[in-house]
Amino acid sequence: MPPEPALEVRDLRKSFGRIEAVAGVSFRVAAGEIVGFLGPNGAGKTTTLRILAGIFPPTSGEVRVAGHDVMREPLACRRAVGYFPEYAPFYPDLSVRAYLDFVARLKRIPRRARADVIGRALAACALETVAHRRVGTLSKGYRQRVGLAQALLGDPPILILDEPTIGLDPGQVVEMRELLGGLRGARTVFFSSHVIAEVAALCERVIVVAHGRLVAEGSPAELRERLHRRRRAVLRVDGPPAEVAAALGAVPGVLAVEPTAGGFVLEGEDHAELARAAGDVVRRHGWTVLELRPEAVGLEEIFLGLVGDGERGS
Amino acid sequence: MIVLAVARKELALYFGSLLFYALAAVFLVLAGYRFYTNLGFFVLMGGTDLARGLWQYQLLDVEGLLLVLVPLLTMRLFAEERKLGTLELLWTYPVRDAEIVVGKFVACLAVVVVLVAATAVHPAMVARLYVVRPGPLLAGYAGLVLLGAAFVGCGLFVSALTESQLVAAAATYGILFFFWMVTWNEAAVSETALRLLVPFSLFDRFYPFARGAIDTRDVAYLGLFTVTCLAFTLFALDTRRWRGLR
């Protein structure tokens, strides 16, 4: 029998009045995995994460956290989870340490271990220097770290993070990413994001939702493979743009020509064929190739493609 | 103990807030002023029975001040957490709703008890000059604490219904004033209605305490009122949670 998955969701549905935020989503996250949860705004990501964290119950479907059913054993589920909500709420008038002390008590961390546990969370999130300050006086980046520190407190085996880098400046985003990367292997991490580079950098596996439904699941490479059959190349030539475009469009191996700033993006069956076609055209007209390189398909495009499929499917 | 952890945090927030000190100052200054005038009146009338002549009026005045004070203390209990979004974070910890509700109730009641206890300086001053029988006073203070608990319970429940502290305070005033006024125009209300309503008036329940008498029926009613409020609070939290509201 395979080991118990850390998170298991079967046909999850959640309605708010007449709005169905999550319309039948199923997935599993194995223990120790780092999984990204992608989707446009309003796709049902936050709702799904809130259900996993125990904030509210599902309308229907089965949700198991660390092997416990969220409906029947809510406290056992919550004990296994550290949750980081979007926009990290906080009590502005408590100091960082007082706040973490409060959370440690709620997490039933025994008195003797408490100081040590809080110390480790402060260190993990680089908060020692501001431990005595009121959370309300801290910058956004520090507040997010306080939010992460409360999730890490007590070393829960599963971390559920909702948009951990939203609203941070680029430097803070890098720090937060390093922090998350540092958790690799030790914890199961399930986090939502719409910053795709972040997901690609951190995750072994991605789950994509749109309109409350799951639209794709797999490693970033698998998703790339699945979506993009066509290859693309970037070409820069010193000829007159209109003529170059017309000439390239007339070559059978080139399926599409798209002018971009200072050059063209060509689409074809494979890169070698595109290069050959471009070379022929340039030689015939006596122009010079300034640049010719294959273009990697970004996760952004994959994401848009997948979400677009979801839209058409619904 | 989760209840104590929640209570501790609430107390830290109360004692760290300017609002608490402003309310405490207003409460104590007004209570002191009422004591000064009540004492003057008692002396002017050449009163001899402290319990009937002074403590009764003083306790009823403090009761009135509690009515003004408590909704401003309870308004933030849940409304603030909703507004900040911290309530949903509490729900991700291995904590029962009942523990949160009781913790908040205990903290707010403790604040009320501290303020009410501070008014005991007035009898203490009288006791330096005069023989004061403690019995009636203790009964009166027990009544104030029980009534305070009922007010706090009511305010806690209302606070769980909204994320606006102002709305919470206003609605709590509405409910408490209703329970106060319900028997005011006794003559105008039909006799049957009066007999039905009087037992529910929180304030009529307090008169015997103010006169130095503890009636178990009054204690039971105030206790039941408080427990019912706490149960309603739990129910309100649960309902909103099922509907997915913050």
d(CA A85, CA A20): 21
Please check the confidence at residue A83 and state whether its pLDDT lies above 50.
yes
Q: Return the pLDDT at A51.
A: 93
Weakest-pLDDT range from A199-213, A300-314, B108-122, B175-189: A300-314
- Kindly determine whether residue A47 and residue B244, on different chains, have CB atoms separated by under 8 Å: yes
| A296 band by pLDDT with thresholds 50, 70 and 90 | low
Matching residue, tokens 């309870």: B74
The listed range with the strongest mean pLDDT (A33-42, A121-130, A150-159, B148-157) is: B148-157
The listed range with the strongest mean pLDDT (A14-28, A216-230, A282-296, B184-198) is: A14-28
d(CA B161, CA B155): 10
- Kindly determine whether residue B242 and residue A57, on different chains, have CB atoms separated by under 8 Å: yes
Q: What is the mean pLDDT of residues B101-128?
A: 95
Vertex B113: Cα angle to B31 and B18 (nearest 5): 70
Q: What is the mean pLDDT of residues B164-175?
A: 96
Q: When comparing pLDDT for A192 and B193, which is higher?
A: A192
d(CA B153, CA B225): 8
Q: What is the mean pLDDT of residues B34-50?
A: 86
- Kindly determine whether residue A56 and residue B241, on different chains, have CB atoms separated by under 8 Å: yes
d(CA A247, CA A268): 15
Residue B118 and residue B62 in contact, taking contact as beta carbons nearer than 8 Å: no
CA proximity to A273, closest of A220, A231, A213, A221: A231
Please name the residue of chain B whose CA is at the shortest distance from the CA of residue A78: B94
Q: Domain A7-225: give its CATH code.
A: 3.40.50.300
Please check the confidence at residue A94 and state whether its pLDDT lies above 80.
yes
Q: When comparing pLDDT for A26 and A184, which is higher?
A: A26
d(CA A268, CA A266): 7
- Kindly determine whether residue A78 and residue B94, on different chains, have CB atoms separated by under 8 Å: yes
Please give the CATH topology (third level) of the domain spanning A229-296: Alpha-Beta Plaits (3.30.70)
Q: Return the pLDDT at A227.
A: 61
Instruction: Give the predicted TM-score (pTM) of the model.
Output: 0.83
For residue A40, CA distances in Å to A104, A193, A306 come to 34, 9, 11
| A314 band by pLDDT with thresholds 50, 70 and 90 | very low
d(CA B215, CA B22): 35
**Residues of A whose CB is below 8 A from B5:** 102, 105-106
Q: Return the pLDDT at A310.
A: 47
Q: Return the pLDDT at B202.
A: 81
A16 touches chain B (CB under 8 A): yes
CA proximity to A139, closest of A167, A177, A162, A181: A167
Please name the residue of chain B whose CA is at the shortest distance from the CA of residue A49: B92
Q: Where are the domains of chain A?
A: 7-225, 229-296
What ipTM, to 2 d.p.? 0.88
Q: Return the pLDDT at B242.
A: 77
**DSSP H helix total and E strand total for chain A:** 11, 14
Enumerate the H helices of B95-164 as residue ranges: 97-118, 121-129, 134-159
Q: When comparing pLDDT for A163 and A313, which is higher?
A: A163
Q: What is the mean pLDDT of residues A210-229?
A: 77
Please check the confidence at residue A201 and state whether its pLDDT lies above 90.
no
Q: What is the mean pLDDT of residues B178-199?
A: 74
| B6 band by pLDDT with thresholds 50, 70 and 90 | very high
Burial of A77 (0-12, 13-18, 19+ CB in 10 A): buried
Matching residue, tokens 């949860």: A37
